[in-house]
Amino acid sequence: EAGVAQSPRYKIIEKRQSVAFWCNPISGHATLYWYQQILGQGPKLLIQFQNNGVVDDSQLPKDRFSAERLKGVDSTLKIQPAKLEDSAVYLCASSSDPHQRGQYFGPGTRLLVL
Protein backbone atom coordinates (compact mmCIF):
# COMPACT_ATOMS: atom_id res chain seq x y z
CA GLU A 1 0.00 0.00 0.00
CA ALA A 2 1.39 3.38 -1.00
CA GLY A 3 1.83 5.87 1.80
CA VAL A 4 0.90 9.53 2.01
CA ALA A 5 2.75 11.52 -0.63
CA GLN A 6 3.77 15.15 -0.24
CA SER A 7 5.60 17.62 -2.41
CA PRO A 8 7.81 19.49 -2.48
CA ARG A 9 10.03 18.05 0.25
CA TYR A 10 11.88 21.31 0.78
CA LYS A 11 11.11 24.92 -0.03
CA ILE A 12 12.98 28.13 0.62
CA ILE A 13 11.21 31.42 -0.03
CA GLU A 14 11.50 35.03 1.02
CA LYS A 15 8.98 36.65 3.33
CA ARG A 16 5.89 37.99 1.63
CA GLN A 17 6.17 35.40 -1.14
CA SER A 18 3.58 32.70 -1.73
CA VAL A 19 4.01 28.96 -1.46
CA ALA A 20 1.84 25.90 -2.00
CA PHE A 21 2.13 22.36 -0.72
CA TRP A 22 0.50 19.27 -2.17
CA CYS A 23 -0.68 16.08 -0.47
CA ASN A 24 -1.97 12.80 -1.86
CA PRO A 25 -3.43 10.66 0.93
CA ILE A 26 -3.58 6.89 1.16
CA SER A 27 -6.22 5.58 -1.22
CA GLY A 28 -9.62 5.35 0.41
CA HIS A 29 -8.78 7.51 3.41
CA ALA A 30 -11.63 9.95 3.89
CA THR A 31 -10.00 12.03 6.62
CA LEU A 32 -7.07 14.29 5.76
CA TYR A 33 -5.13 16.56 8.09
CA TRP A 34 -2.59 19.33 7.65
CA TYR A 35 -0.26 19.97 10.58
CA GLN A 36 2.43 22.53 11.25
CA GLN A 37 5.37 21.33 13.28
CA ILE A 38 7.88 23.81 14.63
CA LEU A 39 11.22 22.48 15.83
CA GLY A 40 10.97 21.00 19.31
CA GLN A 41 7.18 20.93 19.40
CA GLY A 42 4.47 18.43 18.58
CA PRO A 43 2.43 18.76 15.38
CA LYS A 44 -0.22 21.45 15.55
CA LEU A 45 -3.42 20.86 13.59
CA LEU A 46 -4.10 23.49 10.94
CA ILE A 47 -7.06 21.99 9.14
CA GLN A 48 -8.94 18.72 8.95
CA PHE A 49 -11.04 17.48 6.04
CA GLN A 50 -13.63 14.74 5.96
CA ASN A 51 -13.88 13.88 2.26
CA ASN A 52 -14.00 17.36 0.68
CA GLY A 53 -15.58 19.14 3.64
CA VAL A 54 -13.76 21.05 6.35
CA VAL A 55 -14.26 19.58 9.83
CA ASP A 56 -11.93 21.81 11.84
CA ASP A 57 -9.94 24.86 10.76
CA SER A 58 -10.01 26.68 14.08
CA GLN A 59 -6.21 27.00 14.24
CA LEU A 60 -5.67 27.94 10.61
CA PRO A 61 -4.46 31.57 10.23
CA LYS A 62 -7.07 32.36 7.63
CA ASP A 63 -5.66 35.75 6.76
CA ARG A 64 -2.72 34.04 5.08
CA PHE A 65 -3.33 30.28 4.98
CA SER A 66 -5.84 28.46 2.80
CA ALA A 67 -6.44 24.82 2.00
CA GLU A 68 -8.71 22.84 -0.25
CA ARG A 69 -9.57 19.27 -1.07
CA LEU A 70 -11.83 19.72 -4.04
CA LYS A 71 -12.51 16.14 -5.07
CA GLY A 72 -12.07 14.56 -1.67
CA VAL A 73 -8.67 13.09 -2.55
CA ASP A 74 -5.63 15.34 -3.07
CA SER A 75 -5.24 18.50 -1.04
CA THR A 76 -3.26 21.70 -1.30
CA LEU A 77 -2.21 24.08 1.45
CA LYS A 78 -1.23 27.62 0.51
CA ILE A 79 0.47 30.42 2.39
CA GLN A 80 0.16 33.93 1.01
CA PRO A 81 2.06 36.02 2.03
CA ALA A 82 4.57 34.04 4.06
CA LYS A 83 6.08 35.34 7.29
CA LEU A 84 9.33 34.38 8.99
CA GLU A 85 7.42 32.51 11.70
CA ASP A 86 5.90 30.20 9.09
CA SER A 87 9.23 28.38 8.89
CA ALA A 88 8.31 24.86 9.94
CA VAL A 89 7.59 21.38 8.65
CA TYR A 90 4.15 20.98 7.13
CA LEU A 91 2.85 17.47 7.59
CA CYS A 92 -0.08 15.88 5.83
CA ALA A 93 -1.77 12.87 7.38
CA SER A 94 -4.70 10.68 6.41
CA SER A 95 -6.86 8.08 8.05
CA SER A 96 -9.73 5.71 7.32
CA ASP A 97 -10.81 5.61 10.98
CA PRO A 98 -8.90 8.14 13.09
CA HIS A 99 -10.23 7.13 16.48
CA GLN A 100 -9.62 3.43 15.94
CA ARG A 101 -6.64 3.28 13.61
CA GLY A 102 -4.85 6.57 14.18
CA GLN A 103 -3.41 8.40 11.20
CA TYR A 104 -0.56 7.99 8.74
CA PHE A 105 1.80 10.80 7.93
CA GLY A 106 3.57 11.85 4.78
CA PRO A 107 7.26 12.81 4.85
CA GLY A 108 6.42 16.49 5.25
CA THR A 109 7.50 19.68 3.50
CA ARG A 110 10.27 21.60 5.21
CA LEU A 111 9.68 25.34 4.66
CA LEU A 112 12.24 28.02 5.35
CA VAL A 113 11.15 31.64 5.08
CA LEU A 114 13.99 34.13 4.82
Partner 1 sequence: RKEVEQDPGPFNVPEGATVAFNCTYSNSASQSFFWYRQDCRKEPKLLMSVYSSGNEDGRFTAQLNRASQYISLLIRDSKLSDSATYLCVVPGGGSNYKLTFGKGTLLTVNP
The reply to whether 106 sits near partner 1 by the rule CB under 8 A is yes
Binding to partner 1 in span 22-61, by CB under 8 A: 31, 33, 35, 40-45, 48, 50, 55-56
Name residues whose C-beta falls within 8 Å of residue 13's C-beta, 6 or more positions apart in sequence.
19, 82, 111, 112, 113, 114
Residue 30 and residue 93 in contact, taking contact as beta carbons nearer than 8 Å: no
Q: With respect to partner 1, which residue has the nearer C-beta, 8 or 102? A: 102
Shortest distance (Å) from residue 26 CB to partner 1: 13
Name residues whose C-beta falls within 8 Å of residue 19's C-beta, 6 or more positions apart in sequence.
11, 13, 78, 79, 80, 82, 111
Count of residues near partner 1 by CB under 8 A: 26
Ranges of H-type helices in 1-114: 98-101
The reply to whether 107 sits near partner 1 by the rule CB under 8 A is yes
Residues that bind partner 1 (CB under 8 A): 31, 33, 35, 40-45, 48, 50, 55-56, 91, 95, 98-108
